[in-house]
Structure 1
């Protein structure tokens, strides 16, 4: 199989050519990724290389052959600081393999899956700084225990309100994408949010709480069909930038 190296930030490895692919590893690579399950020997090779590049993360994605069904391969990566599993909708069924990662993980991303596993294994990452969740709602209350989070993205997740996030006193960036979280009244009470993104949140009409966020520097609003006007932002004294894009759904 051929090797792919388009974006220098990503190094994609394929079965049968892992060793050759790893020879392309350099400081520009931010993520080493694979889309099919590999041999144990290949995982060990990747782990050995990543020890020399501790800032690089690992990503399992898009398993079209259905071979990535769990995260048990993480037993080979006890020193990893950044991991994501996404575009594994059909195949990924079990995330308990997260138990093999260090508890002071920096970044964790879990994409949408047909079978939604419990997020309970995420609770062990009490030092986690950045979390991305897509469509994962089983035991989502775990998120509220990750009090060191600085960045949180919830995609295709609907919450009745934002009370779950109130314990996140360190939060600086919050992205709500898709989903149907319409009740935002608690926004000013969550952390010290400097960046807020609201994108295609179904049914969201009232964004007036953003006006009472004194630490917010960047407000990003896109495709909010029922939002017809911005609130007065004079009390958002740290605001430096507002990004507005079409209120219509794409297509």
Structure 2
């Protein structure tokens, strides 16, 4: 795969998802992040975005707006006030890692059939952080819904100062092309959704529900395994 680099006085960068070339011009203080972002496009990654709903909305997937590029915790998004300059804490999300083949099959589970069945309904998963080099267990859960929508659940470990992320799991919605490409959207599933997404993860005792598709995701408690690795229980219920 060919990749070509340019260095010009005027800052600019670009690449096509799935393409063979990237273009970087200028000298940016965020060189490593910019370079990694553009290389991500050559692996087929689109921008990681947000779905923003009003603070008074009844659901984090209710009427809202797609904010392209504004998932600040993903290298395929744009850094926010919490992640600015924290290149080495940043990763791409579990969906992109699965798409690239960076997570083995054993680390990715179908929320409808994987995990441990519960009575009377639901399936229980032990989810490990996908940004931890020592993690070897399950690191991504996907749940297909209708109309080409799939929910992806992942856990992060490199932002301990963010109470929501440190004690919860992220939920992203991947939708079939809305214009020219797939939409990958971080959802604010924190009970106080509608804010600025700094606290956006699904924490213990809280749940996210897609009523139309009969999908419920429950955030469970965090645990430490016998090797000292943290994980979080997640329950998926399909009705």
Q: Between Structure 1 and Structure 2, which shows a larger proportion of helix residues?
A: 1
TM-score category by the smaller chain? under 0.3
Q: Between Structure 1 and Structure 2, which shows a larger proportion of strand residues?
A: 2
Q: Which has the higher contact order (CA 8 A, sep 6+)?
A: 2
**Larger Rg, first or second structure (1 or 2):** 1
TM-score (norm 2): 0.28
